[in-house]
Amino acid sequence: MDRAPFPGEKGEEIFSSVSKQAWMEWLQQQTMLVNEKELDLSKKESRDYLSQQLENFLNNESFDKAEGFVPLDK
């Protein structure tokens, strides 16, 4: 990554330990979750949900995926 994805200690931790490719994969997952689950990021519970999913993703644990997403065949 070119810089920390967000300010603070957690952003610096991610910057120093997560590849740019992994971060881009997370951003795709995050976008699908926000859209499919119609998350309102102005609400703390939506932000907390995404934070937990991010932790799971970065720790190679099970995380929620967009249920209706079907990837295009290349």
pLDDT tens digit string along 22-37? 999 999 999 999 999 9
Q: State mean pLDDT over 38-57.
A: 96
Q: How far apart are CA 12 and CA 3, in angstroms?
A: 9
**DSSP track, 26-66:** HHHHHHHHHHHTT--TTSHHHHHHHHHHHHHHHTT------
Report whether 18 contacts 11 (CB < 8 A). no
Flag whether 53 is in a domain.
yes
Residue numbers of the domain that contains 52: 19-58
pTM of the model: 0.81
**Total structural domains within the chain:** 1
Flag whether 36 is in a domain.
yes
Residues of the chain with pLDDT > 70, as a percent, come to: 91
